[in-house]
Structure 1
Amino acid sequence: MELEALERYKQDNRLPLSITKRESRLYMSYMYVAFIALFVGGLMGLLQVFVRSGHFQLPWGIDYYQVLTVHGVILALVLTTFFIIGFQYALMGKTVGISERQRRVSWLAFWTMTTGTILTAVTIMLGKASVLYTFYAPLKAHPAFYIGLALVIIGSWIAGFVNWHQLYTWKQKHRGEKAPLLAFMVTINMIMWFIASLGVAATVLIQFIPWSLGYAETINVLVSRTLFWYFGHPLVYFWLLPAYMAWYAIIPKIIGGKIFSDSLARLSFVLFLFFSIPVGFHHQLTEPGIDPTWKFVQVVLTFMVIVPSLMTAFSMFATFEITGRRKGFGGLFGWFKHLPWKDVRFLAPFLGMVAFIPGGAGGIINASHQLNSIVHNTIWVTGHFHLTVATTVILTFFGVAYWLIPHLTGRRLTESINRLGIIQTIVWAVGMLIMSGSMHIQGLLGAPRRSAYSDYGGTAQAAEWGWYQMAQAVGGAILFIGIGLMVYIFIKLAFFAPKGDEEFPIAEEEEEAPATPMWLENWKLWIAITAALILFAYTIPFMDIIQHSPPGSPPFDWPIGNS
């Protein structure tokens, strides 16, 4: 009873809540799956770069595209989704609390997602679903692959409903108060995820499952690709926004500072909600069947997302400078030199921030009409994804894991583990610099993506590309060492580190910052604007796609060589 009274006192006074052992088991379950996925997916990535080097063949008749599918699905979908949902549950539990009923429903979400993951993984491992993580038609997988994907999506929706109900319950007890910043951010991210994943759920349930079961003879490929990329681009921001949560609200605490502006942080997330969904056509710029005018409209909307990205960069470096100068570090860059470089909780996310500078520039190139035609379908795009997702996002997730895992398991981040974490971070950054850099250069030379070395080994360009293939193999090997180190650190923090209390760092806002206006929590307005932008960007072109589809839409009547 005393513990319950203490938690009520914390909630009434806006203090971080305690995470119980039952909650920790729930949150850690998501982390276990995420780090298993990291090891499996990383191993598949290592095999890929070895094959592409031209000096290694897969044993036992394993197909290259089977390995490529495992790598993409396990890392881009399973690792990210499980880590994000586990992390967001922890943020919500710490800021607004979780009831017993909400916790039980959260387990339902976990087991639904896990069942779907197992179904999907088994079909890929058996060679029944070598369709890559984009699973474009006319490539057809076993029905269990699509059913598994649908279960993963449904499980994530259940998790989103729990998060929304957590905030709703908190608001009922704190009428007229602004929601905690991290709870606000989680809510935005799950709204975006739910709206975006309606597209991939529609194409899987209405098109792919009936087609794979034999109930439909044909599939409209352009419809399926349009629905996928309606989902595929905001998927990138579903990965990225949890990293932004850590940057905005957790990193300031780690460096001994405060949040620069609560209002700016919330506004940037609202803008991400607006401009991350109605932009899928910029992944389809080379495809026929879509009016160029609507492609242009969506490219313009794509560039709008630069605004909240620059707001985030400004906010973070303002926090760094204010904190450093407050500690007495003068000069033009004195504050920069005295950031806590020896704290892996800061170093890993900071290197992720740095990687997002060239990653964001590459994204502008990919979304541009003329420049996209140069790099489209080359391995440049693969290098871009490895800069954004596999460096910016994953390094930030690693930085979160260094304090979140011991906090949940009742252990401590020791000096020795911190040093090993710094080594792991540097290894990862070096490996990714070599691998992603060589991918970008090779892409500019015209090397295709999604192709094994043997597919073009006899061409005149193969010799020129060969050096970059070898560099990718070297970078991939270094990255796999980084994966091994991270899995070891995870196991150490989860089971063997000394018992203790690790801080759950949540920063406070600067005292001088202007008060956050309540209109920033006008959820009905934000959702209505998002829906209006989506309808504006998709209604007419989607009607055109349906109206002008060829009779019967046979699957091989459409080009399939696009992103």
Structure 2
Amino acid sequence: MNTPGAMKKLDRRDAKLVMAHMYVVFTCLLVGGLAGLLQVLVRSGKVTLPAGIGYYQILTVHGVILALVVTTFFIMGFMQATVSFTAGAYSNAQRRLGWIGFWLMLIGTAMAAAMILTNKASVLYTFYAPLQAHALYYLGLTLVIVGSWMGGAAIIIGYRRWKKANPGKPSPLLTFMSVVNSVMWYVCTLGVAVEVLLQLLPWSLGMVDGINILASRTLFWYFGHPLVYFWLLPAYMAWYVVIPKVIGAKIFSDSLARMSFILFILFSIPVGFHHQLLEPGIDPAWKFLQVVLTFLVVIPSFMTAFALFATFEKHGRQIGAKSLFGWLKKLPWGDARFTVPFIGMLAFIPAGAGGIVNASHQMNQVVHNTIWVTGHFHLTVGTAVLLTFFGVSFWLVPHLTGRVLTKKMNKLALVQGILWAVGMTFMSGAMHAAGLLGAPRRSAFSEYGGAAQAAEWIPYQIAQAVGGSILFISIIVMVCIFINLAFFAPKGEQEFLVGEVDADAEPTPLVYENWKLWLGITALLILFAYTIPFIDIIQNAPAPSKGFKLW
């Protein structure tokens, strides 16, 4: 219990739950980072994997561990921490749900990892049919999703309890944001749950001879694009609410933050066809519709950029900045809790521009299935999201462990962020450039077609290897920082960073928490975007898939 005047702390039982997630995050970060390093070294043509280890084996390890496991464990831990802190400590029932979810995710991760390491599931993180993995791989991924549902349920219970105790008031901003991300996760994972349970598992168990491939890919991308926003929204939570506290500013607008999050629910799910623009079997008119819906996601992203830089400028001018960009000098560049996430914010600018290319009808044809897409992916989740997560960990982990971020660790954290920026500039920049020349994604060097064309790409593959090596060094530094903050940093009190809304901001309308309205609109958009195309996919499937079934 906190004594009067003492710094507010997360309930120690909830802190243990969150730290359990963090231990998994940074262990898997090291494993996934090593797989990524081996991958770029093999692609450079300078390294051959020992002991019969396959290229697609380490590619799958890298993608599944970093894109699915690290992100999901961090996000669930971070959101549960924010809800416990801002909406009240977990009840025993919430905590039980949180722990059940954690163990289900961990068991599922172990099952999937075992299948990948024994080369029975080298199907990449997208597990695209007609590639087939062992049934235990699909079952493991199912447990990861079900476990995340349990953690989301604990979050929603905390939100409902707070609303019941505070009728007529807007919920704490971080709690609201966590609920939005959990709701979006529930809706989008229904697609991959149907794919795995009704198609991939029966198929891998030999219960059916084949499955409707286009249906499986459509179900995956119904989930796959909102997955990007499941990663991104916790970073937005930090940008909107945590970063203002770090720099000593106020949150520019509570209402604008809530509106942008609601728009992500509406516009992030019915857009999966823009990942399937070159796949036959989907009417071009429906593809075009979903491209238009995809571009609408730009609106909340621009809203976020405006709110962030308005916060920076307003605060800078309040503390003495005079010139047009004088406020930039007033930002705390020596504080890793700000600078490392800020690098992620900057990376999101070219990442967003690349996303517009990927989602465009004509431009997508230039870069589709090239390593350009991989470069884009590493700027979004690999830089904007991960660097923000690292910045959060610099204060969250010591808060959870009762320690402090020392000046020495802060300097090391700055080095880590700079290394990441340099490494990603080399690697992602080379991926984008090679992609424009036609270099394929998901391919080992030895499998490139045409010796002359492959030779043209060699300098870019070497640049990727250089960048990947620097990134792995950055990962090692990050893991060392985590170990220090978890076990060796001096005992003390590290504040749980939650910003306050500016006194000049407009009051927050309660309509943002009208879940019947927003979920109803979301359901209508999904039905409008998918019902007719999906019926076409099933009815027009080649034998033996013809008829209203998924196999």
Interval containing the TM-score (normalised by the shorter chain): over 0.9
Aligned mates of 1:187, 1:513 — CA distance in 2: 23
User: Residue 20 of structure 1 aligns with which residue?
Assistant: 11
User: Residue 61 of structure 2 aligns with which residue?
Assistant: 70
Counterpart of 1:91 in 2: which secondary structure? helix
**Deviation (angstroms), 1:84:** 0.3
Aligned mates of 2:198, 2:250 — CA distance in 1: 48
Counterpart of 2:28 in 1: which secondary structure? helix
Instruction: Say whether the 8 Å CA contact 2:44–2:465 is kept in structure 1.
Output: yes
> Counterparts in 2 of 1:272-421, with a 5 A limit?
272-421=264-413
Q: CA RMSD in A?
A: 1.3
**Does structure 1 residue 54 correspond to structure 2 residue 54?**
no
**Deviation (angstroms), 1:20:** 2.2
User: Residue 435 of structure 1 aligns with which residue?
Assistant: 427
Name the amino acid aligned to 2:319: K
Residue segments in structure 1 that go unaligned for 5+ positions in a row: 555-563
User: Residue 492 of structure 2 aligns with which residue?
Assistant: 500
**Deviation (angstroms), 1:457:** 6.8
| Runs of 4+ displaced beyond 2 Å | 15-18
Aligned mates of 1:354, 1:292 — CA distance in 2: 34
Counterpart of 1:461 in 2: which secondary structure? helix
Aligned mates of 2:18, 2:36 — CA distance in 1: 27
**Deviation (angstroms), 1:122:** 0.3
Aligned mates of 2:131, 2:512 — CA distance in 1: 44
**2:87 counterpart (96, 110, 113):** 96
**Deviation (angstroms), 1:530:** 0.6
Instruction: Say whether the 8 Å CA contact 2:97–2:153 is kept in structure 1.
Output: no
> Counterparts in 2 of 1:518-537, with a 5 A limit?
518-537=510-529
Instruction: Say whether the 8 Å CA contact 1:117–1:148 is kept in structure 2.
Output: yes
**Deviation (angstroms), 1:23:** 1.3
Aligned mates of 1:435, 1:106 — CA distance in 2: 37
> Counterparts in 2 of 1:246-265, with a 5 A limit?
246-265=238-257
**Deviation (angstroms), 1:458:** 5.0
Aligned mates of 1:16, 1:546 — CA distance in 2: 58
Name the amino acid aligned to 2:484: K
**Deviation (angstroms), 1:456:** 1.8
Counterpart of 1:329 in 2: which secondary structure? coil
Instruction: Say whether the 8 Å CA contact 2:11–2:84 is kept in structure 1.
Output: no
**Does structure 1 residue 42 correspond to structure 2 residue 33?**
yes
Name the amino acid aligned to 1:241: L
Residue segments in structure 2 that go unaligned for 5+ positions in a row: 547-551
Instruction: Say whether the 8 Å CA contact 1:16–1:94 is kept in structure 2.
Output: no
Q: Can you list the C-alpha shifts for 1:211-255, whole angstroms capped at 9, x where unaligned?
A: 000011111100000000000000000000000000000100100
User: Residue 448 of structure 1 aligns with which residue?
Assistant: 440
Q: Can you list the C-alpha shifts for 1:64-91, whole angstroms capped at 9, x where unaligned?
A: 0000000000000000000000000100
Q: Can you list the C-alpha shifts for 1:12-44, whole angstroms capped at 9, x where unaligned?
A: xxx995312211110000011111110000000
User: Residue 220 of structure 1 aligns with which residue?
Assistant: 212
Q: Can you list the C-alpha shifts for 1:507-533, whole angstroms capped at 9, x where unaligned?
A: 111101111111111111011011110
Aligned mates of 1:384, 1:456 — CA distance in 2: 21
Instruction: Say whether the 8 Å CA contact 1:17–1:96 is kept in structure 2.
Output: no
**1:236 counterpart (228, 234, 241):** 228
> Counterparts in 2 of 1:132-147, with a 5 A limit?
132-147=124-139
Aligned length, in residue pairs? 545
**2:22 counterpart (25, 31, 38):** 31
Counterpart of 2:443 in 1: which secondary structure? coil
User: Residue 542 of structure 2 aligns with which residue?
Assistant: 550
Q: Can you list the C-alpha shifts for 1:282-318, whole angstroms capped at 9, x where unaligned?
A: 0000000000000000000000000000000000000
Aligned mates of 1:96, 1:36 — CA distance in 2: 30
**Does structure 1 residue 114 correspond to structure 2 residue 92?**
no
Aligned mates of 1:245, 1:352 — CA distance in 2: 13
After TM superposition, the structure 1 stretch with the greater mean CA deviation from structure 2, 93-102 or 296-305, is 93-102
Counterpart of 2:157 in 1: which secondary structure? helix
User: Residue 549 of structure 2 aligns with which residue?
Assistant: none
Percent of residue pairs identical: 64
Name the amino acid aligned to 2:56: Y
Name the amino acid aligned to 2:47: F
**1:425 counterpart (381, 399, 417):** 417
Instruction: Say whether the 8 Å CA contact 1:344–1:422 is kept in structure 2.
Output: yes
